[in-house]
Amino acid sequence: MKLRNTPAAVAAVALLALTATACGGGSDSGSNGDKITVGIKFDQPGLGLKTPDGKYVGFDVDVARYVAKELGYTEDKINFKQAPSAERENLIKNGDVKFIVASYSINDKRKKEVDFAGPYFLAHQDLLVRADDTSITKVEDLNSKKLCSVTGSTSAQNVRDKLAPDADLQQLGGYSECLTGLQNKRVDALTTDDSILAGYASQKEHQGKFKLAGLRMSDENYGIGLKKGDDELRGKINKALEKMVSDGTWEKLVKEHFGPSGYKYEPAPKVQG
């Protein structure tokens, strides 16, 4: 039977192509056809921010774009999804995102549920207080204070487990909510990574209102979270991260995103194979 060039053959080929696109990547892996979904923060200036006009900006966002490009996805093929601290593991496990780049510290507890590529950045837990506050200068001062952090973060966990177990700790959904509490004097301090706090302190509307305590209370190695056991993806992302450092992009991006806040970033950590 001669199929070539008959209308039926053309239709059959078109149908095949359609089916292949619909199935590509699978719906449970954060990719659908030729698009991928990537988790980022929406309310952390300098790292991951959704602007009022719907743009996504920040260091993590650009790291996500770089990695996606290395995986074969151009900018227009990326769908950004908000990944609040407490939801990151579930978003990955449910296949809602392909990977997450969201100030996501690598630790053993999380590694039981997800895998990490990286690290690609090193931050330290610190405190943000009101500019006129002189009562908090060391970690122990927190035990008599109202402190705000975010549910599901290492910042909150560290306070409860070791830093200041007696502090009155409020846990909210995002750091920007804590910032409002700090401004309104409902809390005395906001604690999370210095990289995040520096971004808030330097926002135009906050200038002169807050200061960082400068206490390096932990090491936070940021990794890219992905589905547990997906060694192929982890290997590809690690390769992309290594390239990002060696081709100078990492340095360019940290300067661009942390330069304006004056945040003194650490050198690029070594990616762990």
Provide the 3-class DSSP secondary structure of residue 210. strand
Nearer to ligand GLU by Cβ, of 103 and 238: the residue is: 103
Nearer to ligand GLU by Cβ, of 31 and 85: the residue is: 85
Q: Is residue 38 a contact point for ligand GLU (CB under 6 A)?
A: no
Q: Is residue 192 a contact point for ligand GLU (CB under 6 A)?
A: yes
Candidate residues 40, 63, 65, 103; the one interacting with ligand GLU per rule CB under 6 A: 103
- Dihedral (Cα; 224, 225, 226, 231), 10-degree rounding: 60
Could you tell me which residues are beta bridge partners of residue 86? none
Q: What angle do CA 233, 240, 61 make, to 5 degrees?
A: 95
**Least distance in angstroms from the C-beta of 156 to ligand GLU:** 8
Candidate residues 42, 56, 68, 85; the one interacting with ligand GLU per rule CB under 6 A: 85
Candidate residues 220, 257, 258, 268; the one interacting with ligand GLU per rule CB under 6 A: 220
Q: Is residue 221 a contact point for ligand GLU (CB under 6 A)?
A: no
Candidate residues 150, 159, 198, 271; the one interacting with ligand GLU per rule CB under 6 A: 150
Q: What is the DSSP letter of 87?
A: G
**Least distance in angstroms from the C-beta of 5 to ligand GLU:** 57
61-85 CB burial, b ≥16 within 10 A, e <16: bbbbbbbbeebebeeeebebbebbb
Site for ligand GLU in 155-184 (CB under 6 A): 155
Q: What is the per-residue binding string for ligand GLU in 39-78, x denoting contact by CB under 6 A?
A: ----------------------------------------
Residues in Cβ contact with 38 at an 8 Å cutoff, skipping those fewer than 6 apart: 30, 64, 68, 78, 79, 80, 81, 97, 98, 99, 100, 101
Site size with ligand GLU, rule: CB under 6 A = 12
Candidate residues 99, 104, 116, 258; the one interacting with ligand GLU per rule CB under 6 A: 104
In sequence order, which ranges of the chain are alpha helices (DSSP H)?
7-23, 59-70, 88-93, 108-111, 154-158, 175-183, 194-201, 231-246, 249-258
Name the residue type at position 113: E
Contact positions vs ligand GLU (CB under 6 A): 85, 102-105, 150, 153-155, 192-193, 220
